[in-house]
Amino acid sequence: MVTIQSGVLDRARLVSNILMLILLIGNIFFSIQYMTNVQYTADEKAKTEERMVMRAKVSSFLKFFIDTVINTQSTISYEDRVKLESDLRQIHEPALTAQWDIFVASKDGKDAQTSAAKLMSLLAAKLM
């Protein structure tokens, strides 16, 4: 009759159970780290895309503003004024909107030129 020492088997089983528990805890830890990293990466990607869209809107408005207002010697058409205002409002920046209101409320050419320069400076700062 063969007798098996139960103490050796119990120790081996205990060691394997401890190793399995350590591996399980490691897998859970690294899974949580991975999911956190995936969420962080997605958030950063969304922020980057939002900044790119903002820059595209600002760039588009700035180009149209320069072409329509700065490079024009005559009066600006109503349609162009509405488009400029609409494009600026789509940027959703209170400082730009306030400066635009100052520009529109200008009484003479010198005030308009000063406020246009400030507006363009704010727009350039948004592009950075």
Based on DSSP, count helices (H) and strands (E) in the chain, helices before strands: 4, 0
The reported pTM is: 0.68
CB distance 125 to 58 below 8 Å: no
Per-residue confidence (pLDDT) for residue 104, from 0 to 100: 86
Q: Which helix (H) or strand (E) holds 74?
A: none
8 pLDDT tier (thresholds 50, 70, 90): low
Exposed/middle/buried for 100, CB within 10 Å: 0-12, 13-18, 19+?
buried
**pLDDT tens column, 63-89:** 998 888 888 777 888 898 899 899 999
**pLDDT tens column, 29-69:** 999 999 999 999 999 999 999 999 999 999 999 999 888 88
CA distance 64 to 84: 8
Please, which residues have CB within 8 angstroms of residue 116's CB and are 6 or more apart in sequence?
69, 70, 103
Token pair listed for 119: 């507006």
The answer, yes or no, to whether residue 92 has pLDDT greater than 70, is yes
**pLDDT tens column, 11-27:** 888 999 999 999 999 99
Per-residue confidence (pLDDT) for residue 9, from 0 to 100: 73
Of 102, 95, 86, the C-alpha closest to 126 is 95
CB atoms within 10 A of CB 14: 10
- Domains of the chain, residue spans: 6-127
